[in-house]
Structure 1
Amino acid sequence: MGDRWSVEVDRGVCIGSGMCVNHAPDGFRLDTARQSHPVDPETDANERILAAAEGCPVEAITVALADSGEVVFPPED
């Protein structure tokens, strides 16, 4: 069984670029205010979700291991 990820979007940081939806259309949606939301806050680890987090121009997406909370993205400085 693979890792499970917890996916969060900081709506105070999100600028509604839509890059997350472009990278992972099954993983993110924009609401009427163009704020991103994960479709499932807990999901199987997959490259599209990670690409969406990495492609966010303001790093509003945090991906962590669901069981431990260890951050997968963004990397620690």
Structure 2
Amino acid sequence: MNHTTEATSWSVAVDRAACIGTGVCVSTSPEHLEIRDGKAAARATETGPAQYLLDAADMCPMAAITVTETATGRVLAPEE
């Protein structure tokens, strides 16, 4: 599902306890995610919409990345 035009601000959270550090998220969305101490981390907790950030959250094998609309709190990714 493409949400890139539905919100002006998204929040990004990484559950570092769940992350296993595969790096697939970073290779998909390096502008938003990075590896710190062997695990994924958000470069910023708030960002503008970007489809590749949703893709990165959906690709995470541990579902450790959550993207939400900042204004509403609606979860955009990962998709259930």
Length, aligned pairs only: 75
Checking the alignment, whether the CA contact within 8 Å between 2:8 and 2:48 is kept in structure 1 is: yes
Poorly superposed stretches of 4+, deviation over 6 Å: none
Question: Which secondary structure state, in structure 1, belongs to the residue aligned with residue 56 of structure 2?
Answer: helix
CA distance in 1 between counterparts of 2:52 and 2:44 reads 13
Structure 1 gaps, min length 5 = none
| Cα RMSD after superposing both structures | 1.5
Give me the TM-score of the superposition, normalised by structure 1.
0.88
Residue in structure 1 matched with residue 60 of structure 2 by the alignment: 56
Question: Which secondary structure state, in structure 2, belongs to the residue aligned with residue 8 of structure 1?
Answer: strand
**Percent of aligned pairs with the same amino acid:** 37
Does 2:5 match 1:9?
no
Does 2:41 match 1:44?
no
Does 2:72 match 1:68?
yes
Question: Which secondary structure state, in structure 1, belongs to the residue aligned with residue 68 of structure 2?
Answer: strand
Residue in structure 2 matched with residue 35 of structure 1 by the alignment: 39
Q: Which of residues 26, 34, 39 is equivalent to 2:31? A: 26
CA distance in 1 between counterparts of 2:74 and 2:45 reads 15
Question: Which secondary structure state, in structure 2, belongs to the residue aligned with residue 11 of structure 1?
Answer: coil
Structure 2 gaps, min length 5 = none
Task: Label 1:75 to 1:54 Cα distance change in 2 as closer, same or farther (>3 A).
Answer: closer
Question: Which secondary structure state, in structure 1, belongs to the residue aligned with residue 62 of structure 2?
Answer: coil
CA distance in 1 between counterparts of 2:77 and 2:42 reads 15
